[in-house]
Structure 1
Amino acid sequence: MLEQCVLQEVNYTPAADIHIKNIFTSAYVNSIINIINIIIIIIIIIIIIITTTTTTTTTTTTTTTTTTTTTTTTTTTTTTTTTTTTTTTTTTTTTTTTTTSTSITTTTTTILLLLLLLQLLLLLLLLLLLLLLLLLLLLLLLLLLLLLLLLLLLLLLLLLLLLLLL
């Protein structure tokens, strides 16, 4: 009986309670989806950074040149043999070429980082909405408590009137 009076006084319906619960559950599900999206974006950024590191190509060229000169001189009186050997060697020329493909990847990573920031902002807004809903729920509970106190006071007044009449 008292419960029906309170419900009629506030015009509170169980459907309103179900609606508030639905708002909370949908906000909770949306926050979980946003967190999953943020994790996916972070994984994509890590994959792009790993695949677009600087590529270094090393080319080694080795050139060897050998020159041999032999001179033989013979004289009639005395036999003289002169041998001259000249060796020239040139080796190892190393050329290093560095190729970097970062212009495309930097733009994609900046776009992904901006999307990540947008996701974080949406998540913060969603959390603020949840806090506002919690405050609203607390205010409704306080209102119900005040109405219950008023009803108790009315009942006490009725009891006092009954006691006075007797």
Structure 2
Amino acid sequence: MTVRQPEHWTLERISTPVGTVLLVTDGEGAVRALDFDDYEPRMLRLLARHYGPVVLSPGASPAPVRAAIAAYFAGDRQALDGIAVRTGGTEFQRQVWAALRAIPAGETRSYGQLAASIDRPKAVRAVGLANGANPVGIIVPCHRVIGTNGSLTGYAGGLERKKWLLAHEARA
């Protein structure tokens, strides 16, 4: 039996207009997780599920990543587009997360539309589960997924934050 060595990554806490975010980056500067500090236990569970043992050390994320996050919250809707993200998860989950990144800022998609975009129109529930398991909030914009009737459905960061993020992107 092979014992998996823990990953060693950096954890930075960044203040934003919607609360403090937890930003986890690896040694190459790729984002591994982004979540809100009041959802830290959820983030830690997702990291363990996707990667096994992880050691998070407080520190600064790469300057370009911090600058992109600051620019996004200052109104630059495309600021997060170039950030390198590395995720675990299944192949299906990674397909869903890639499709999320293809939703332009200021626009939304239903779960059905998202499922159709990956050529799995009947996998609406599975798409919803993959969306909920996204470890990189905001950058992989799961907040842009809404109910078929246009309602704001669940968001791991809370519906008030989802509403704020969508309004922020619509204004920018």
**Greater per-residue helix proportion:** 1
Structure possessing the higher relative contact order (Cα contacts under 8 Å, 6 or more residues apart): 1
Scaled by the length of structure 2, what TM-score is found?
A: 0.17
Q: Which has the larger share of strand? A: 2
- Structure 1-normalised TM-score? 0.18
